[in-house]
Amino acid sequence: MTDIYQAMVRNHAKLAYNSVAAWLEGEAPAPDQAVAVDPSLAESLRVQDRVAQKLRSHRHKRGALDLQTLEARLVFAGDEIRDLRVEVTNRAKQIIEDFMIAANDVTARFLHEKQVPSLRRVVRTPKRWDRIVEIAAEHYVRLPPDPDALALARFLTGQKAADPLRFPDLSLIIIKLLGSGEYVVELPRQAAPGHFGLAVKDYTHSTAPNRRFPDLVTQRILKATMGRSTMPYSQAELVELARHCTEKEDDANKVERLVAKSAAAMLLLSRVGDQFDAICTGAADKGTWVRIFHPPIEGRLLYGYEGVDVGNQLRVRLIHTDVNRGFIDFEKV
């Protein structure tokens, strides 16, 4: 049973993910003096952790995909980039992630039940499911011929346990093959496509109105629905907002990728001619892309890409970098 209501939040401590995670896992003392001296605050964090883990387990049983990508953070020595360090998930981050997913699910179902138009976050059924089936077969796992989130989730869980070191590479491949998310409008008595990766039919973005405009749109619709006041947007306006938000999210992602690629190109400036083990992360008419394992950097395969498909492992040589344009070019060895 769920409910939605207005409330005020009071923060009792300023906490950081890594220190909270270390404390929860028994590897460090209390992350803040307030937690150390207030048993109720400490117990609140532990309750949140237990609930988050149960929510996560329930999602995965339902078919939510357990994916783990490599998020690299730049390591500086003064103004000089020295390395890319991989950020890893932890229990504290999972608390926020699982609570946000639960809140977004509840919000979407609430608006659906009230039969008001809403902005949905969807990941459609993957068009390249056949390639996902092929990749699973390479790991001696048979997936059904038609897209099946639960079957894919079981395959991923098995691979994470069997080969945790290579699992981020497999995750990245699956993410590329699933395709990107988008915003669509769900109208009364109609159903949006749903979110394949989370294995949910009703899903929206509502928990970050301070940094993401679709969440602000949803909060406004939610407030109007709860107050039984006039809707802030017409159906036509919502359709246009969905298109606009999807487009601008793609633009923002391109800028983020360009900044990351420029930094990576700077890091590899002195390594032109070196060889690396790599994995293919993208293959389309516009180009073939590979990611080297260390440092975890993606670039374009300019030569020798014939017959290379997503998931193939290969040996590549760095042949060119362009910091200003964020170009990192490889050839197959």
- How do residues 145-165 score in pLDDT, each as one tens digit? 999 999 999 999 999 999 887
Mean pLDDT of the chain: 91
Residues 139 and 190 in one domain: no
pLDDT for position 166? 79
Torsion sign across C-alpha atoms 226, 232, 236, 238: negative
User: Could you tell me which residues come within 8 angstroms of residue 115 by beta carbon, excluding any fewer than 6 positions away?
Assistant: 188, 189
How many separate domains does the chain show?
A: 3
Q: Domain of residue 306: give its range.
A: 268-332
| Average pLDDT of the segment spanning 177-195 | 90
Given a cut of 90, is residue 285 above it in pLDDT? no
Q: Which one of 112, 147, 178 terminates a domain?
A: 178
pLDDT of residue 292: 92
Q: How far apart are CA 149 and CA 64, in angstroms?
A: 7
What's the average model confidence in pLDDT over 280-303? 90
More confident residue, 260 or 151: 151
CB 22 within 8 A of CB 32: no
Residues 115 and 206 in one domain: yes
Q: What is the CATH number of the domain that holds 288?
A: 2.40.50.140
Average the pLDDT over 54-63 and give the result: 92
Average pLDDT score over residue span 49-64: 93
pLDDT of residue 314: 95
pLDDT value at 24 more than 90: yes
- Select from 235, 260, 285 the last residue of a domain: 260
Q: 86 and 198 share a domain?
A: yes
